[in-house]
């Protein structure tokens, strides 16, 4: 897939004063991308679109460059101690995107240029837990690798963590644009995970992301660059022939991953879930979606902040968990399944 290019870029007033703001400005000028100003991302006007579907598509081609104001970090269970944001949203068009309920009304891609403020917050939170090591997730509000060719922010972040003895960075992506970070001085403090799924799921639901093959090639490069690596199998969907398809998926991972790194590989398993609100948004944006969101086939579970979400019934959860865990253990006897949720 070609690297993402926005159709328009909005700058918040202070953003151009930062080195990353300057870098993005230069990128826009070199690529002749229209540059617009906005007093705040909340004031953005002029993203075209006659209906929700068109507005959404155009917002996904819009980049907003600003500063991260709130530096209070949220906890990030079960993947890390805390999460922080280098960006919000992402250029991908996954029909089930986990960001729909939190960023539903503002799907444009935002990046934050005040990296030193973000790093200071990371240092503060990790300092509070010394001598314990603290882990930080960088991809809870977006996919920073998808815009790395424009910002360079992920590489700087990786190198900042490279200097911290008691902090670990975790990144997850559905993109393959790893070249900019291959020579980063990570010092083994970053775990790169690739979100993977069956061809059935990727082809039907994960539009504008890289193919499975590209993600696995990228994972191979990242492993060879000395990073710790992992895979998120997510969202697990019980589609027709799912057993065969997930077996094929794990076989493909096995084929791409060098034997010498397999002991350090982690797997995170996440079943598909949706909320009533997310279903409404998905049906507006993808009226012909084939995503199965039949509440009658699911069971209700309390999520974060008391939100109710629909998950697979217990018997199906047990079956998928056991089946996929067995596949992983058979192919990666030294790998580690971190959680199933």
The minimum distance between CB 187 and ligand SF4, in angstroms, equals: 27
Distance CA 65, CA 80 (A): 27
The minimum distance between CB 82 and ligand SF4, in angstroms, equals: 19
If the CB atoms of residues 24 and 97 are measured against ligand SF4, the closer one turns out to be 97
The minimum distance between CB 329 and ligand SF4, in angstroms, equals: 27
Handedness of CA 289, 290, 295, 299 (dihedral sign): negative
If the CB atoms of residues 286 and 323 are measured against ligand SF4, the closer one turns out to be 286
Q: Are 283 and 302 in contact (CB under 8 A)?
A: no
The minimum distance between CB 142 and ligand SF4, in angstroms, equals: 6
If the CB atoms of residues 25 and 311 are measured against ligand SF4, the closer one turns out to be 311
Helix (H, G, I), strand (E, B) or coil at 261: helix
Q: Are 171 and 218 in contact (CB under 8 A)?
A: no
If the CB atoms of residues 95 and 316 are measured against ligand SF4, the closer one turns out to be 95
The minimum distance between CB 143 and ligand SF4, in angstroms, equals: 5
Residues making contact with ligand SF4 (CB under 6 A): 90, 92, 94, 97-99, 142-143, 174, 209
- Of 272, 253, 264, the closest CA to residue 194 belongs to 253
If the CB atoms of residues 92 and 153 are measured against ligand SF4, the closer one turns out to be 92
If the CB atoms of residues 172 and 223 are measured against ligand SF4, the closer one turns out to be 172
Distance CA 308, CA 304 (A): 8
Q: Are 195 and 172 in contact (CB under 8 A)?
A: yes
If the CB atoms of residues 139 and 317 are measured against ligand SF4, the closer one turns out to be 139
310 CB contacts (<8 Å, ≥6 apart)?
Answer: 273, 274, 275, 293, 295, 298, 299, 300, 301
243 CB contacts (<8 Å, ≥6 apart)?
Answer: 323
The minimum distance between CB 43 and ligand SF4, in angstroms, equals: 24
Structure tokens at 255: 């084929």
The minimum distance between CB 93 and ligand SF4, in angstroms, equals: 6
Residue with tokens 């944006």: 285
If the CB atoms of residues 129 and 149 are measured against ligand SF4, the closer one turns out to be 149
Residue with tokens 């503002």: 106
The minimum distance between CB 205 and ligand SF4, in angstroms, equals: 9
If the CB atoms of residues 41 and 93 are measured against ligand SF4, the closer one turns out to be 93
Distance CA 264, CA 230 (A): 8
Task: Give Cα separations from 197 to 149, 180, 205, 224, 295 (angstroms).
Answer: 25, 24, 10, 22, 23
Handedness of CA 43, 47, 48, 54 (dihedral sign): negative
Q: What is the maximal distance between C-alpha atoms in the chain?
A: 55
């Amino acid at each position: 897939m070609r690297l993402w290019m926005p159709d328009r870029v909005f700058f918040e007033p202070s953003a151009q004063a930062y080195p990353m703001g300057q870098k993005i400005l230069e990128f826009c000028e070199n690529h002749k991308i229209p540059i617009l100003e906005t007093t705040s991302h909340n004031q953005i006007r002029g993203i075209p679109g006659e209906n929700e579907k068109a507005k959404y598509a155009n917002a996904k081609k819009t980049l907003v460059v600003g500063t991260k104001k709130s530096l209070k970090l949220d906890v990030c269970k079960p993947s890390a101690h805390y999460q922080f944001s280098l960006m919000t949203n992402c250029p991908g068009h996954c029909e089930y995107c986990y960001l729909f309920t939190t960023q539903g009304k503002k799907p444009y891609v935002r990046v934050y240029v005040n990296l030193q403020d973000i790093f200071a917050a990371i240092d503060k939170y990790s300092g509070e837990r010394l001598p314990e090591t603290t882990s930080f997730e960088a991809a809870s509000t977006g996919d920073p690798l998808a815009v790395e060719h424009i910002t360079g922010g992920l590489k700087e972040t990786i190198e900042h963590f490279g200097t911290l003895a008691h902090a670990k960075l975790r990144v997850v992506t559905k993109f393959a644009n790893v070249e900019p970070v291959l020579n980063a001085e990570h010092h083994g403090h970053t775990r790169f995970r690739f979100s993977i799924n069956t061809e059935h799921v990727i082809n039907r639901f994960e539009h504008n992301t890289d193919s499975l093959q590209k993600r696995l090639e990228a994972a191979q490069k990242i492993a060879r660059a000395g990073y710790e690596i992992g895979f998120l199998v997510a969202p697990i969907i019980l589609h027709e022939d799912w057993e065969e398809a997930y077996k094929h998926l794990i076989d493909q991972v096995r084929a791409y991953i060098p034997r010498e790194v397999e002991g350090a590989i982690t797997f995170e398993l996440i079943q598909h879930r949706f909320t009533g609100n997310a279903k409404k948004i998905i049906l507006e944006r993808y009226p012909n979606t084939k995503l199965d969101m039949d509440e009658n086939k699911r069971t209700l579970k309390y999520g974060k902040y008391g939100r109710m979400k629909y998950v697979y019934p217990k018997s199906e959860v047990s079956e998928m968990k056991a089946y996929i865990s067995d596949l992983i253990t058979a192919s990666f006897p030294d790998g580690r399944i971190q959680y199933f949720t």
